[in-house]
Amino acid sequence: MKNSGKSEVAQKALADAFRASVREGNGGAILSSLDLIGEGKVADPVIIELCGRSETADGVFRAARDRCGRRGQFASLWQAYEAASAAKPDAPSVQDYRRRQDLLAGKTIPSSETAAVVAGAPADPAARFTHALALLREDRAADALGVFHDIDIFVDYLPPGDKAIVIAICEANGMNRHADSLRGSLDPNLLEKNEYALILR
């Protein structure tokens, strides 16, 4: 019981340190350190908590989206989204996620809307992938490929959902060999159902 108490105190201290680091703008580095020492789980509830605060919702949800997407933690991602959406519905990361989910579900989002987002935040890769998906839904495969002409994207390091969009873009442009190579490097268990549908022939 003593060790259990010490463990709880230590985990609370780590969670508090992560919470403080986010306020100071150093959350990413501390989160990486927690993951490195096998204590990343203490950050997960804090991430959802901070998604629910208007002052941290945008940045923390952006990090949660990447983190949960890479780990296949779909329930946690949805909790983070609901918290951020309630706290700051106009946050760019929240709006982009909403548009992406609508597109994946087959709803129509005009590419003019997603293009405006990219124009306003050209360095945001998430917005670019959402825009590319909107163009694909409009059967504009070549334009979808062109979304990345002025930005460096390292496909091997992309979150699984973004990589699925790249596969769909490649296949729509007849680049089947490249698409097959990417498909072989992707764990389908890390894709949500509608993301998985993108990589099916």
What Å distances lie between residue 155 and 109, 158, 161, 177, CA to CA?
Answer: 25, 5, 11, 15
3-state secondary structure of 170: helix
pLDDT in tens, the chain (201 residues): 445 555 778 778 877 777 887 777 767 777 777 777 777 787 888 889 999 999 999 999 999 999 999 999 999 999 999 999 999 999 999 999 999 999 999 999 999 999 999 999 999 999 999 999 999 999 999 999 999 998 888 888 999 999 999 999 999 999 999 999 999 999 999 999 999 999 986
What Å distances lie between residue 90 and 16, 39, 100, 133, 201, CA to CA?
Answer: 28, 32, 15, 21, 36
- Rounded to whole angstroms, the Cα distance separating 38 from 33 reads 9
Residue 5, pLDDT score:
57
- Joined tokens for residue 169: 């873009």
- Rounded to whole angstroms, the Cα distance separating 31 from 21 reads 9
